[in-house]
């Protein structure tokens, strides 16, 4: 399946506004993404529910983002994601 809202969001992730993100993507971005995608595939094959996977990803990601960038940066980033998702609200939930 292509062009799902999640795919569009994935494409936009490394492209936050200039005031929030240095130009380009961090070093070894593609390598890290490949490792994460493989881990997610293993979790899915193990029969762990999507709800559990999502909760774990958020609980691991948000504290790291806050430690790295601060709570205001994370709040601004989440607001941008929220706006992007609202724009796509006409899309059916996948």
Query: What is this structure's pTM?
Result: 0.62
Query: What b/e string do you get for 52-80 counting C-beta neighbours within 10 Å, with b at 16 or more?
Result: eeeeeeeeeeeeeeeeeeeeebbebbeee
Instruction: Specify the pLDDT at position 93.
Output: 56
Instruction: Specify the pLDDT at position 24.
Output: 75
Give me the average pLDDT of each 10-residue run along the chain (94 residues): 56 54 77 96 97 96 94 91 80 56
Instruction: Specify the pLDDT at position 1.
Output: 43
Q: Is 44 in a helix, a strand, or coil?
A: helix
């Amino acid at each position: 399946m292509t062009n799902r809202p999640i795919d569009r969001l994935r494409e936009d992730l490394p492209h936050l506004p200039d005031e929030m993100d240095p130009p380009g993507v961090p070093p070894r971005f593609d390598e890290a993404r490949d490792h994460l995608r493989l881990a997610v595939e293993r979790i899915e094959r193990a029969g762990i529910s999507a709800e559990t996977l999502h909760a774990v990803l958020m609980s691991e990601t948000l504290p790291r983002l806050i430690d790295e960038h601060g709570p205001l940066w994370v709040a601004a980033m989440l607001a941008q994601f929220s706006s992007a998702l609202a724009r796509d609200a006409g899309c059916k939930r996948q």
